[in-house]
A and B are shown apart, each in its own frame.
Chain A
Amino acid sequence: AQSVTQLGSHVSVSEGALVLLRCNYSSSVPPYLFWYVQYPNQGLQLLLKYTSAATLVKGINGFEAEFKKSETSFHLTKPSAHMSDAAEYFCAVSEMGRRALTFGSGTRLQVQP
Chain B
Amino acid sequence: EAGVVQSPRYKIIEKKQPVAFWCNPISGHNTLYWYLQNLGQGPELLIRYENEEAVDDSQLPKDRFSAERLKGVDSTLKIQPAELGDSAVYLCASSPPEGEQYFGPGTRLTVT
Contacts and interface: CB of A to CB of B under 8 A. Distances in A.
Interface of A: 4, 9, 34, 36, 41-46, 49, 90, 92, 98-106
Contact of B31 (A36, A46, A99, A106): A99
Contacts of A105: 40-42
A65 B83 CA distance: 40
Contact of B56 (A42, A90, A92, A100): A100
A41 to B, nearest CB: 7
B42 A43 contact: no
Interface residues of B, number: 23
A106 B41 contact: yes
B42 A92 contact: yes
Nearest to A9: B40
Nearest to B108: A41
Nearest to B97: A99
Interface of B: 3-4, 31, 33, 40-45, 48, 56, 91, 93, 95, 100-106, 108
Contacts of A49: 100
A46 B100 contact: yes
6 contacts: A36-B103, A43-B104, A44-B93, A46-B102, A105-B41, A106-B40
B105 A101 contact: no
A44 B43 contact: yes
Contacts of A42: 105-106
A99 B42 contact: no
Nearest to B33: A100
Nearest to B95: A99
A43 B4 contact: yes
A66 B40 CA distance: 25
Given A43-B3, A43-B4, A43-B91, 6 more contacts: A43-B104, A43-B106, A44-B91, A44-B103, A90-B43, A103-B43
